[in-house]
Structure 1
Amino acid sequence: MSAGALPSVMVDGRAAAHAFDGPEARARLARMVEDGTPKNTDRAYAADRRYFRSWYEISGFGEPELPIRADILIRFVVDHSEGLDPRVDAALVASGVKAKLGRLRISTISRRMAWVATWHRSNGYPSPLSGGPVQEALRMARKAAARRGFRPTKKKAALRETVQTLLANKAAPTAAEIRDDAMILFAFATGGRRRSEVAEARIEMLEEVDGEYVFHVGITKTEQEGSTRTVPVAGRAAGALRAWLGIVGASDGPIFRRVERDGRIGTRRLSDRTVARVVQRRAAAAGLDPKAFGGHSLRSGFITESGRQGKNIFDAMQLSGHKSMQSVVGYHQAGAALSNEAGRLMDL
């Protein structure tokens, strides 16, 4: 994040420009902002910022200045929902900010408009999505996409049997396979940890209790100031983790680390993308469609399996860290569906 962009993180960016005129003060603010911004969020915001600026300039509106006019934002929604001017579309692809010609998915349009709203709010301007014509245009674009057959794509939930299939099950697994087994079981058994939480998990966050572990969750997507929650790493997951930690041989640092080609255990943590790739690689090796699975499969799989086994949804949410029933109840109900006796009335 560049120093020139720093005012955008303040409540009132215009006032912040005066408070951080000096290079030393701005450098200190830069460190705080960089440490306080999740890496995934920072990458996504950077990509959305590049795209919006490119579209704005290529469309002939000049250099974007806040606040962005409502009619321009509505044009952004309409262009990407109904189809861009072919010359603009081709220029965006040629510039590298757009992968291919054609409409954007409504989920991508919504995410980029969410970035525009964040950009406004963080500079002291009201969000263009807080009521009014821009929000209405986006709402209608979502309805149009749904009527055209758009459905959000979700990775397939990895249930208990699927997780078992993903494990190496070899008599003499390699260090990387031992790590990957431990990582898969850790992510699933601790409540379906997000892939970023798995990648950022550290040995210091573990507490050994009677041969098993308690994991202190720390920072999560919904708890950016840190969580005081603890979750169990028990049973088979504890055994797999103990085997991996025995190879790591360290008392601090990342739990899940690189294994070098010569077999040495590195000191750097894995990236969150590597967590997803491990799941996909194991799925492919087991004869499953790797594109159907990802890091989120372990999270949704935990909730779905808990419903399948008749576990209390609130107990599952306590481990997963879900804050909203709305986001979790669908997975839980899907797992419990075949146990619903009302679905077997014709069998009586």
Structure 2
Amino acid sequence: MSAPLTPYQPNVPTLSEANQTALTDLYVRGTPPNTLRAYERDLIYITAWIDAAFQTTLTWPERENIALRFILDHSRDLRGADTLDPARKAAENLISLGLRKSLACPAPSTLDRRIASWRAFHRMKNLASPFDAPLLRQTRAKARRAAARPKATKSANPITREVLEAVLGTCDHSLRGIRDRAVLMLGWASGGRRRSEIAGLMRADVDLKDYDSDGLIWLNLVATKTTETGKTPKLILKGRAAKALAVWIEIAGIEDGPLFRPITQNDDPLERKLSSDGIYQIVQKRVTQAGFPKGFATPHGLRSGFLTQAALDGAPIQAAMRLSLHRSLAQAQKYYDDVDITENPAADLLG
């Protein structure tokens, strides 16, 4: 049996307690809310796994042998493992806590995200991560290849213009219907906004100065997944989408605070903002009411649908990306490629 790996002991300066507090505060203020929530979930998971696997707590910096075991345990399908297998026992403990869904091998992307969070925690403490050690880097690369699987789409189907029109047809003239129409049209027409971006909009982010004269509404997103705080370019709404948003603001009396809000059974808006899950529920409900099967599309279908429709209409990809704010041309190009291949004459050679 090989000797256990020694604890990871990088030669870095130690932060004072005051500097550590200030650094942590800076990370919190400078990190998007969704990322912070992911960090929190991952920290809870990692802490629970270490307790289940080793009956101990987190160590800073973490030991290489524990980091290595984390990779190995999360790169296996444990459904056929012996009931006394330590990895299986730890996984069952996490399942009982509601932190893990099954004994199946987690998706490589899930493991990558948790490792990225763990590394971020080390950076917050000015410590090098054990995951940077050569053995662990190689092990992670091998595990990723071994568990390779087709990347799952975020929405089963894109919400193209035709689908969106059917979904909008379910929105009546109640305040809830007016809100949902504005949510859907803004989410689609402004470039395919993520649900967190829609939920995070404030009334102050909406500029109506050109609405009466030109029918234009300007949107100022503070930050997105692909843009830094304060550096997101202004986006525009026009036509029906601009009208839907203007009507919601007027009818609901939104003068400040959150743009989109929950609505009571008496059809009155609340003061608090609509959550990202609320956006998800709106899309699911309206898509089902429009006659599409359950699970037909998720909120990301607004984003994929916008780009798919842009490709169908022959809009230049660069123009679509100015609204979608995709950072990667290759990522946006996938939606155009899916459309192009269906129109490719070479696909009809056999008749």
- TM-score tier by shorter-chain length is 0.7 to 0.9
Aligned partners of 1:307 and 1:334 also within 8 Å: no
TM-score by length of 1: 0.85
Counterpart for residue 309 of structure 2: 305
For residue 182 of structure 2, give the secondary structure of its aligned residue in structure 1.
helix
Q: In 2 relative to 1, CA 164–65 (structure 1 residues): closer, same or farther, beyond 3 Å?
A: same
1:26-80 residue CA offsets vs partner (Å, 9 max, x unmatched): 5x87766544433322221111111111211221262221222333222212112
For residue 229 of structure 1, give the secondary structure of its aligned residue in structure 2.
coil
Structure 2 residues without counterparts, runs of 5 or longer: 1-11, 79-85
Counterpart for residue 124 of structure 2: 122
1:202-257 residue CA offsets vs partner (Å, 9 max, x unmatched): 22222232122121222212224223411111111112112211212233222211
Counterpart for residue 46 of structure 2: 52
Identity %: 31
Aligned partners of 1:304 and 1:332 also within 8 Å: yes
Aligned partners of 1:13 and 1:122 also within 8 Å: no
Separation in 2, partners of 1:268, 1:231: 24
Pairing 1:335–2:339 present: yes
Structure 1 residues without counterparts, runs of 5 or longer: 1-11, 21-25
Q: In 2 relative to 1, CA 13–242 (structure 1 residues): closer, same or farther, beyond 3 Å?
A: farther
Q: Which moved more, 1:100-109 or 1:278-287?
A: 100-109
For residue 232 of structure 1, give the secondary structure of its aligned residue in structure 2.
strand
Counterpart for residue 9 of structure 1: none
Q: Which moved more, 1:203-212 or 1:51-60?
A: 203-212
For residue 213 of structure 1, give the secondary structure of its aligned residue in structure 2.
strand
Pairing 1:239–2:240 present: no
Q: In 2 relative to 1, CA 140–203 (structure 1 residues): closer, same or farther, beyond 3 Å?
A: same
What code does the residue aligned with 2:278 have? T
Separation in 2, partners of 1:13, 1:319: 44
Counterpart for residue 231 of structure 2: 227
Counterpart for residue 68 of structure 1: 62
Counterpart for residue 165 of structure 2: 164
Q: Which moved more, 1:262-271 or 1:214-223?
A: 214-223
Aligned Cα RMSD in Å? 2.5
Counterpart for residue 212 of structure 1: 216
Alignment of 1:267-282 (within 5 A): 267-282=271-286
Q: In 2 relative to 1, CA 131–283 (structure 1 residues): closer, same or farther, beyond 3 Å?
A: farther
Alignment match of 1:132 (pick from 131, 134, 137) = 134
Separation in 2, partners of 1:284, 1:175: 20
What code does the residue aligned with 1:165 have? A
Aligned partners of 1:207 and 1:215 also within 8 Å: yes
Counterpart for residue 144 of structure 1: 146
Aligned partners of 2:215 and 2:239 also within 8 Å: no
What code does the residue aligned with 1:88 have? A
Question: How many residues are paired up?
Answer: 327
**Once the 2 structures are TM-superposed, how far is the Cα of residue 130 of structure 1 from its aligned partner?**
4.6
Separation in 1, partners of 2:265, 2:239: 31
Counterpart for residue 43 of structure 1: 37
Separation in 2, partners of 1:75, 1:315: 47
Separation in 2, partners of 1:215, 1:275: 18
What code does the residue aligned with 2:180 have? D
What code does the residue aligned with 1:263 have? D
Aligned partners of 1:70 and 1:133 also within 8 Å: no
Separation in 2, partners of 1:124, 1:341: 57
1:155-178 residue CA offsets vs partner (Å, 9 max, x unmatched): 1221111111211356x5211011
1:243-276 residue CA offsets vs partner (Å, 9 max, x unmatched): 2112122332222112111111222210111111
Q: In 2 relative to 1, CA 179–319 (structure 1 residues): closer, same or farther, beyond 3 Å?
A: same
Aligned partners of 1:202 and 1:253 also within 8 Å: yes
Separation in 1, partners of 2:58, 2:240: 55
Alignment match of 2:260 (pick from 256, 263, 266) = 256
What code does the residue aligned with 2:332 have? V
Separation in 1, partners of 2:131, 2:103: 27
Aligned partners of 2:39 and 2:117 also within 8 Å: yes
Separation in 2, partners of 1:127, 1:326: 31
What code does the residue aligned with 1:333 have? D
Counterpart for residue 15 of structure 1: 15
Q: Which moved more, 1:75-84 or 1:319-328?
A: 75-84
Q: In 2 relative to 1, CA 176–77 (structure 1 residues): closer, same or farther, beyond 3 Å?
A: same
Counterpart for residue 202 of structure 1: 202
For residue 231 of structure 2, give the secondary structure of its aligned residue in structure 1.
strand
Q: Which of the pair has the greater relative contact order for Cα pairs under 8 Å at 6+ separation?
A: 2
Separation in 2, partners of 1:264, 1:237: 22
Aligned partners of 2:24 and 2:124 also within 8 Å: no
Pairing 1:113–2:112 present: no
Counterpart for residue 182 of structure 1: 182
For residue 223 of structure 2, give the secondary structure of its aligned residue in structure 1.
strand
**Once the 2 structures are TM-superposed, how far is the Cα of residue 301 of structure 1 from its aligned partner?**
1.3
Separation in 2, partners of 1:63, 1:177: 50
Q: In 2 relative to 1, CA 227–335 (structure 1 residues): closer, same or farther, beyond 3 Å?
A: farther
